[in-house]
Structure 1
Amino acid sequence: MDTLAERWDRLRRHVRVIGPADERPRPAVLLFHGCGGLRQHLPRYAEAAMQAGWRAFIIDSYAARGWSREYALATVCTGLQLRGDKRAGDVLAALSDISKWPDVIPGKIALAGWSHGGWGIMEAMSSERRPGMLGLANPGDVSLEGIKAVYLAYPYIGVAALNRMRPWKHCPRTLAVVSRTDHLTTVRNAERVMTMVGNCGADIETWIAEGTHAFDEPGAVKPMVYHPQLADEAVERFRALLTDVAAAPPVWTSPASLRGVQTGMTRLS
């Protein structure tokens, strides 16, 4: 069983960082992909965060485990491996380390998850976090208090998400994107779950997008269908959420001032 530090040591080499190239402390958003793995739409959201003055960290949970997309589709998407409670360990490990970076403001963190990634975030927000839970020896050693916003894109809240109605322990501003024709949940179920989240005092907004699950993912396969106009709106709503919860220092617009996507990230200390 991993400690937070050991889990992060597995993840950190497979994190993509997108953000201004300066060393100024800035708000940060952590992005967690769906069960199909890291796809081309997440960097687009990260770029939007960068333009808003935030630092964005895309965490690749599969590369850290040596899993291919095909393997994940056959095991994670079918519920055989890495269910939401275990994915929550990745969320907490990333939060624990990134919030300590000198160019990140620890009290201005946002979490963003797509489908399975949203499931993992919801488990991290609601679990008791006793030793041994969430696949971690010390899950309680990281505070949730610095999380100012949560973005949930068609989160998985189907029958395998046994804890979907468990109240959150920390209740930040939340935007939940619900797909009207999602084959994994009904709108009624999603609204019931999000009402529960709001009951703890979270300022929660639910946007019902007139599309399928993964409508913002180019190349989505049926029953999922890519919808470019809805995708544009989703990115704009994501950006607006970030700017609403935390002001960020302005970004220089010259190409030399921006840090592009980096892979094989090494830990800053």
Structure 2
Amino acid sequence: MDALAERWARLEPHVTEVGPDDDRPRPAVLLFHGCGGIRDHLPAYAEAARAAGWRAYIIDSFAPRGWSRTFAMATVCTGLHFRGHARGGDVLATIDGLSRKPEVDAGRLCLAGWSHGGWGIMEAMSADSRPGALGLSDPAACDLAGVKGAWLAYPYVGLLAANRMKPWRHCPRTIGVIARTDHLTTVRNAERVHGMVRNCGVEVETWIAEGTHSFDEPMSAPPMRHDPELTQEAIRRFTALLTDLAPSFQDTGL
């Protein structure tokens, strides 16, 4: 079990920052990869965030643990190891760690997760704050007030996500991307989960993309298939969310 600061100290050396070349406090989006690790589509989203005046941070949850992609595919993607509640600890530690950086506007954060990363975000938002939750000794010390948005791209909401209908304790504006032919969930199940979040009284937009799970990842591994047009639409919607959350930073070049 880690304290927030200890978990962040392990993660920070493996975080990639993409953003304007200045030290001005800017809104920040935190990107959490899927079960296969960091893939080529995440830098594209990070660049879109940079163009909108945001700082983007790609968090590698596997490198600090010494896990290869092969190991992750065999254990994490199969649900044998490192399920969403464990990943949720990384989410809270990253929020806490980045909020302390002077170049980050801690009052305007957005969480973005793909598949397993989305699962981790949902666990972080719904977990109670008792010591030991999410594998952390001090989860209550993470202030979620600055989290204003969430981008959940085909988050895992299958049977192993036992807490998928657990109400969130912090409810930011959310976009839920549902893949029409996702082999890991039905559209009905995914909409039910997003509807639960909407019951918090927060705006939740769902977009049913006419593609497979991981449609925006530039590779095809049946039943998953890359769709370039859907990918561009996803990045457009992602950018629109950031712009809505911090409109003053759009295309400022500052």
TM-score scaled to structure 1, two decimals? 0.92
Q: Cα deviations across residues 224-265 of structure 1 (Å, max 9, x unaligned)?
A: 000000000000000000000113446676xxx8xxxxxxxx
Match of residue 143 from structure 2 = 143
| Residues 1:70 and 2:70 aligned together | yes
Instruction: Flag the 1:67–1:243 CA change in 2: closer, same or farther, 3 A.
Output: same
Contact 2:243 2:250 in 1 (8 A): no
Match of residue 212 from structure 1 = 212
Aligned AA (1:145): A
Q: Match of 1:20, SS?
A: coil
Aligned residues, how many?
254
CA distance, structure 2, for counterparts of residue 121 and residue 250 of structure 1: 25
Q: Match of 1:97, SS?
A: helix
CA distance, structure 2, for counterparts of residue 110 and residue 81 of structure 1: 27
CA distance, structure 1, for counterparts of residue 66 and residue 33 of structure 2: 16
Match of residue 31 from structure 1 = 31
CA distance, structure 1, for counterparts of residue 71 and residue 207 of structure 2: 32
Match of residue 122 from structure 2 = 122
Contact 1:27 1:248 in 2 (8 A): no
Match of residue 108 from structure 1 = 108
Match of residue 3 from structure 1 = 3
Between 1 and 2, higher relative CO (CA 8 Å, sep ≥ 6) is seen in: 1
Please tell me the root mean square deviation across aligned C-alpha atoms, in Å. Answer: 1.1
Match of residue 173 from structure 2 = 173
Q: Match of 2:19, SS?
A: strand
Q: Match of 1:105, SS?
A: strand
CA distance, structure 1, for counterparts of residue 173 and residue 74 of structure 2: 34
Q: Which aligned runs of 4 or more in structure 1 are off by greater than 6 angstroms?
A: none
Unaligned 5+ runs, structure 1: 258-269
Q: CA deviation at 1:108?
A: 0.2
Q: CA deviation at 1:220?
A: 3.0
The percentage of counterpart residues that share the same residue type is 64
Aligned AA (2:241): L
Aligned AA (2:53): G
Contact 2:53 2:252 in 1 (8 A): no
Aligned AA (1:226): H
Contact 1:36 1:73 in 2 (8 A): yes
| Residues 1:160 and 2:154 aligned together | no
| Residues 1:57 and 2:46 aligned together | no
Match of residue 133 from structure 1 = 133
Match of residue 265 from structure 1 = none
CA distance, structure 2, for counterparts of residue 117 and residue 250 of structure 1: 26
Q: Cα deviations across residues 9-67 of structure 1 (Å, max 9, x unaligned)?
A: 11001000000001111100000000010000000000000000000000000011110
Contact 1:52 1:248 in 2 (8 A): no
Instruction: Flag the 1:158–1:60 CA change in 2: closer, same or farther, 3 A.
Output: same
Contact 1:26 1:248 in 2 (8 A): no
Contact 2:243 2:249 in 1 (8 A): no
Q: Cα deviations across residues 140-169 of structure 1 (Å, max 9, x unaligned)?
A: 110111000000000000000000000011
Instruction: Flag the 1:250–1:163 CA change in 2: closer, same or farther, 3 A.
Output: closer
Contact 2:115 2:156 in 1 (8 A): yes
Q: CA deviation at 1:106?
A: 0.8
Contact 1:26 1:103 in 2 (8 A): yes
Q: CA deviation at 1:115?
A: 0.1
